[in-house]
Chains A and B, each alone.
Chain A
Amino acid sequence: MSAEDNDYSEFMGKGKARERTFETEIPIGFVHSALLEPYRTRYFVEDEIVKDCEIEMDPAYRGIERILEGMPVDRANIITERICGICSNGHLWNSVRTAEAGLNIEIPKAAQAIRVLAEELERIHSHLIFIAHACEVLGHETFAYRSFLMREPVMQILYMISGNRVNYAIPVLGGVRPRTQIAQWKGKAILEAMDKLDANLKKFIERFLADIMVMSRLKGVGVCDKRTAIKYHAVGPTARASGIDFDWRIKMPEYKDFDWDMVVLDEGDNAARVKTRALECLVSARIARQAVEKAMGDSDVLNRDWQLGSMAIQHSYIEVPRGELYHSYRLDDQGRIRHYIVRTPTVTNLATMEVVCVGDQLTDAVVTLATCDPCLTCCNRFVVIDERGRERSMTLQDLRRGGS
């Protein structure tokens, strides 16, 4: 295929055409105190009111799909874990799940429960980081430290199960790594820790929602109604805070035996987005407790009775802390990866927030962006190469213009 076949000229070099000039432009990033991760936001401001916003997500592009092309599948799975340091289990699980669905590998029940346990613990710690980050951006450090304090026991549980605090490497093809099986004493320790966490979380949420200072900054700001959320395809808690009752967990067979319910709020403002995540922590704790009871004491966690072979293109969706995660690839005769595609939730969530923050005060707009829980490391995965071989990431505007 020659370069002429791909005519990307309509996307190139335009960015967001400025139809009108604005009073002030406030660029934030790549490295900035309000952003933990490198991305650049350009706020176009008139009289402290954000009139327009543009987000650039280039700097974290590492080309992981390119690394994975032609790699043996078991090795590639471990590398997908390095896509993101917060939802590492989500990426690994989905990558493994894709191959398992294509190769018809059966997974022991205890292994399934351990995967769910890891994912739910990850959801709790991710949401607590989110709350801490949102409170820090708000300027309320006490709540941020509280949140970090509650998160630490969860990290210690994950460390106890897997031996690492971030890259757990729990799922492998055919089950989970045998080291991660839940022995009786481990299960008891986890259940005890979950009880404490539950009590602390409930107290925290009560205080957080009753706090006048915090709520005055969050309530009624950055309202994303249901139509906007559907139009820009918000996913996960960001969508559920705007009244969209969808969660991939209701479709996943792994969650069939669990008793849980979805958190859906209708307000769609910043307060709702924080509240959704806070309440989801409680739901996740409930699922995690059931998962421990299912997996406790069961040592049959790995099915080695399968063969690697070619596989047609397989799609797999799971619910990670930030929303829907999509992995897809096919395997050739030698079991090597071809055409790995990853689509992460932040791509659409951030695009939604880019629209929603228009009309806010500048200080609130930063919070609005933070409340969609942006995770740029996994988000940045799209490069256009033009005829002259120049590389350039596509901005959200390009995608929107090309997509709609």
Chain B
Amino acid sequence: MKALARKRAIHVMLVYTGGCNGCDIEVVAAVYSPIHDLEQYNVMLTWNPREADILLVTGPVTKKIAPALKAIYDAIPEPKVVAAVGACAINGNVYKNLGGDLGPSTEIAGPVENIIPVDARVPGCPPRPEDIIAAAAAAIKILSGRSD
């Protein structure tokens, strides 16, 4: 009963941690845009961590935002699934790995798995909305496996 109810209303929270905004727009486009329309599968975008089931994290997690991300993760009730969306969230992309004379950026605390455990990864710079929908579907599967 619990599992059925949960499956009917999956809430996704999007946290933006200092990337280039491309992934966020794609996530929002995947959820809101009437062409992709993730909401038709009962997946809703929320901004309240206490309501969320899936946490989508984009961006390479700057040092300033790392504590906020940790706090948001802690505030989400169990069971929860974290998906890292985009190359920045998975490995830090150009900010973490490339650099000229002065080396790569020192402002990055990420990638996301340095701060919170990650269950699903969506590669791409940025991932297409189709990929994000696939990730959400995969995350729902993990989620229903976790619920007791």
Contact = CB atoms under 8 A, between A and B. Distances in A.
A129 B32 CA distance: 11
A332 to B, nearest CB: 11
Given A85-B22, A167-B126, A375-B21, A59 B62 contact: yes
B20 A85 contact: yes
Contact of A60 (B15, B62, B99): B62
Contact of B95 (A32, A67, A167): A67
Contacts of B95: 62, 64, 67, 82
A277 interface: no
A82 B93 CA distance: 10
A144 interface: yes
B33 A67 contact: no
Interface stretch (B3-11, B77-85, B102-110, B137-145): B102-110
A86 interface: yes
B107 to A, nearest CB: 5
B16 A36 contact: yes
6 contacts: A31-B16, A36-B21, A38-B17, A84-B20, A165-B126, A377-B18
B100 A336 contact: yes
B21 A377 contact: yes
B64 interface: yes
Interface string A35-70: 011100000000000000000001111111011111
A190 B59 CA distance: 32
Given A148-B34, A149-B33, A32 B25 contact: no
Nearest to A136: B32
A63 B106 contact: yes
A70 B100 contact: yes
A68 B102 CA distance: 9
Interface of A: 30-33, 36-38, 58-64, 66-71, 75-76, 79, 82-86, 88, 129, 132, 144-145, 148-149, 151-152, 155, 164-167, 336-337, 375, 377
B104 A148 contact: no
Contact of A88 (B22, B93, B98): B22
B28 A36 contact: yes
Interface size class, chain B = 35 or more
Interface of B: 15-26, 28-29, 32-35, 47-48, 60, 62, 64-65, 68, 72, 93-95, 98-102, 104-108, 125-126, 128
Nearest to B15: A31
Contacts, number: 131
A155 B33 CA distance: 12
Contacts of A155: 29
What are the 5 closest A-B residue pairs judged by CB atoms, nearest first? A85-B22, A70-B101, A33-B47, A70-B100, A71-B100
Contacts of A152: 29, 33-35
Contact of B29 (A37, A63, A75, A148): A148
B64 A59 contact: yes
A63 B20 contact: no
Contact of B105 (A64, A76, A145, A165): A64
Given A83-B20, A148-B29, A68 B64 contact: no
A333 B121 CA distance: 42
A121 to B, nearest CB: 15
Contacts of B17: 38
A150 to B, nearest CB: 10
Given A59-B62, A67-B94, A165-B26, A86 B100 contact: no
Given A62-B108, A63-B107, 19 more contacts: A31-B16, A36-B16, A38-B16, A59-B68, A61-B18, A66-B99, A67-B94, A67-B102, A69-B100, A82-B95, A85-B126, A88-B20, A145-B34, A149-B34, A151-B33, A166-B26, A166-B125, A167-B126, A377-B18
Given A82-B94, A167-B126, A377-B20, A62 B105 contact: yes
A132 B33 CA distance: 10
A31 B68 CA distance: 8
Given A82-B93, A148-B29, A69 B62 contact: no
A192 B98 CA distance: 41
Contact of A148 (B19, B23, B33, B125): B33
B21 A38 contact: no
A60 B105 contact: no
B102 to A, nearest CB: 5
Contacts of B21: 36-37, 84-86, 375, 377
A138 to B, nearest CB: 15
A272 B84 CA distance: 39
Contacts of A68: 100
A165 B107 contact: no
B132 to A, nearest CB: 11
Contact of A144 (B32, B101, B106): B32
Contact of A85 (B19, B62, B98): B19
